[in-house]
Chain A
């Protein structure tokens, strides 16, 4: 388990859950990225939970994008929990990174479980928009 002010990582059944909280911006994005990178080593898939994010800017989006890129190269999957009511939801909709967005951890987990493990499978689609 790795901790930093904004990052909390738990592992469960081969899936790392990276919970980000508070404010992630240009000032602390690099630190958060380092913590997340170390914390997901050795797991199969990754869930990034943004439910408790109070603010994220374009640096946080760049962080997610790099993380998704790394995992894809390694044949691992990344999904994001960002409830419709959460602050990051709108930001992630504006800058569409092609990462599946989920209302909660349960639906994210279910999507990961149903995904074929072989490489080259398409990114996991998120929950249907609840708009």
Chain B
């Protein structure tokens, strides 16, 4: 009840004040209220108040109107005016609330709704009732009356209601002191301009006021426009009441002149409101865009970080990169997809089993990202733990499948596991939906191992797991890989397998590292990795039967005994003279290179190692220093070609701790003329 009375009183007081101002101040010409502020008061109250408070507000407005009308001596006209002035805001507010709720005049759409229903439609309805009332109980002149009401109430709603609603609109930033000072200055300037215009009878000053309003829209936005427009409307009405309005000056009848004047102000105000909302909309769009940009940058950074984590995790979960025993050497490869931000689920492992066998595994967990990488790591570790105590590869995969059922992200995985006895060279292997291993025989013919195949881990349809068996010849090369090595978009897998076979046949006579590098450079040209790739290359080397090893200080003088010593060792091994000369020359060239480029510190040793491995002589020259000053010496340019021309394989590996030159020459190799 208290709330009801309070609202009633406040609305009635504001309405009465506006109404009295309109009658006393503006109605000097006696042609009806030209600018009617109370219309804005009621509309703003209804738009802002909850509907349950509407009766109080409407009652307040009606009481105030009726009282003022009776007091002004309008008599019989009073009930009709009360009706008109309460129906008008009721209809306008109902429509506005229906379309936008509480309008934010800074928004283009809300402003349009406010203008349409508050400024145009409401006053039209009110004016119609008022004009009918006036025609019935007053002096007639329906159209003229309607026009005055419409324009006067429209301006009242726009200037007063607009100000109240704009004040309630959400500000994008808190006004600063400078904003307040600017607002005051603009308001004062607007009033000053209009009063000066009236005083000096100078229309130019009115145009300046229009400019000022435009400037306000830019500088202060909707709220500023509302305030300055409010002040401007009052100032113009005051000036008109005092006898100066520009249209009278142009020779129009006073009533018509006032109507033109008010219409001009309405149009100028609408223009300024529209300008302010347009600017506001653009600023919001800009902000949205930069927020979106920020969000995207953040998302990208997050994705990149996740990718790095996944890659690091994956690398740390992969098996060892190489293995060397006296009968076999293994080199592994892992490459992440180039244009993919996610880590994949490809993996490899090399396990030395307790009975001296070598276990090789390559697998692919379906899916990408951290989940796949983590699942891959768990599978690998489980396999390494289960392998020593599991009798066969197929049984191992069976047990791994049971384990994988409990791993998140390992719902589907393929893998191939091979168990090699390096002494008997017998191979047992099994594949769970994985591409077949490839064996290259010493004569260079490559064969895929298609046995031992069964469903992928996690596949729904059961099928018996079986082992495949093969016996490898000495000097054979075995390649396990994931599909990324052979698959290319829009190409049958058979084409990829055939390509792998051809490349492998070409490089199989190299060491394990050499085969791996040859496969990678031929099958994965840089920038063409659509998928990640894991591969394991095993080379069955002949049994090492003799070893030559010397360490020399890195000086030319201390290298001098190398040639005679190596020569006599090769003679002891019954290496023929041609091969011997070629090997000694190549080892010498490599050693001289190591002295010249490998080390700046003469005390760093150079290690020369040579061994008979099956039918091969394999030699290594290892220097201990980093290749700090690697200035090319033109007189030494023939060293590498000489080595390449003399040996079957030359690989140069430069690492952090020096350079290793690895040389291999097959002894039956027909080199003799």
**Contact surface of A with B, Cβ cutoff 8 Å:** 23, 25-27, 55, 57-59, 61-62, 84, 87, 90-91, 93-95, 130-131
Which of chain B's residues have a CB closer than 8 A to the CB of A61? 638, 642
A59 touches B588 (CB 8 A): no
A55 touches B584 (CB 8 A): yes
B584, closest chain A residue (CB): A55
B563 touches A58 (CB 8 A): no
Using an 8 Å CB-CB cutoff, how does the interface string of B626-658 with A read, 1 for contact, 0 for none? 000000000111110110011000000000000
B636 touches A62 (CB 8 A): yes
Most buried by B among A25, A58, A87, A90: A58
Q: How far is the CA of A2 from the CA of B646 in the complex (A)?
A: 34
Q: How far is the CA of A59 from the CA of B585 in the complex (A)?
A: 12
Using an 8 Å CB-CB cutoff, how does the interface string of B561-591 with A read, 1 for contact, 0 for none? 0010000000000000010011011001100
B646 touches A57 (CB 8 A): no
A55-B584, A57-B588 are contacts. A62–B673 as well, Cβ < 8 Å? no
B29 within 8 A of A: no
Which of chain B's residues have a CB closer than 8 A to the CB of A25? 588, 592
B639 touches A58 (CB 8 A): yes
A25, closest chain B residue (CB): B588
B232 to chain A, nearest CB (A): 97
A94 touches B645 (CB 8 A): yes
B673 touches A131 (CB 8 A): yes
B581 touches A94 (CB 8 A): no
B638 touches A95 (CB 8 A): yes
B560 within 8 A of A: yes
A57-B592, A62-B635, A62-B638 are contacts. A87–B673 as well, Cβ < 8 Å? no
A55 touches B673 (CB 8 A): no
A-B contact pairs, 5 of them (CB 8 A): A26-B556, A55-B584, A58-B636, A61-B638, A95-B642
B577 to chain A, nearest CB (A): 9
A95 touches B589 (CB 8 A): no
Which of chain A's residues have a CB closer than 8 A to the CB of B636? 58-59, 62
Which of chain B's residues have a CB closer than 8 A to the CB of A27? 556-557, 560
B581 touches A95 (CB 8 A): no
A26, closest chain B residue (CB): B592
B378 to chain A, nearest CB (A): 53
Count of residues in B whose CB is under 8 Å from the partner chain:
23
A27, closest chain B residue (CB): B556
Q: How far is the CA of A81 from the CA of B585 in the complex (A)?
A: 20
B556 touches A90 (CB 8 A): no
Which of chain B's residues have a CB closer than 8 A to the CB of A93? 645
Which of chain A's residues have a CB closer than 8 A to the CB of B635? 59, 62
Which of chain A's residues have a CB closer than 8 A to the CB of B646? 90, 94
Q: How far is the CA of A62 from the CA of B639 in the complex (A)?
A: 10
Contacts beyond the supplied A26-B592, A58-B636: 10 A-B pairs with Cβ under 8 Å = A23-B563, A25-B592, A58-B589, A58-B639, A58-B642, A62-B635, A90-B581, A95-B638, A95-B645, A130-B673
- Per CB-CB distance, the 8 closest pairs between chain A and chain B, nearest first, are A94-B645, A58-B638, A62-B635, A58-B639, A131-B673, A95-B638, A61-B638, A26-B592
Which of chain B's residues have a CB closer than 8 A to the CB of A62? 635-638
B589 touches A57 (CB 8 A): yes
B552 to chain A, nearest CB (A): 14
Interface residues of B in 455-479 (CB under 8 A from A): none
A22 to chain B, nearest CB (A): 12
A131, closest chain B residue (CB): B673
Q: How far is the CA of A89 from the CA of B588 in the complex (A)?
A: 18
Q: How far is the CA of A95 from the CA of B585 in the complex (A)?
A: 13
A55 touches B585 (CB 8 A): yes
Which of chain B's residues have a CB closer than 8 A to the CB of A91? 585, 642
A57 touches B585 (CB 8 A): yes
Q: How far is the CA of A88 from the CA of B625 in the complex (A)?
A: 32
Most buried by A among B563, B585, B645: B585
| A95 partner, pick from B560, B582, B641, beta carbons under 8 A | B641
A62, closest chain B residue (CB): B635
Q: How far is the CA of A131 from the CA of B646 in the complex (A)?
A: 17
A84 to chain B, nearest CB (A): 6
A87 to chain B, nearest CB (A): 6
B556, closest chain A residue (CB): A27
Most buried by B among A23, A90, A130, A131: A90
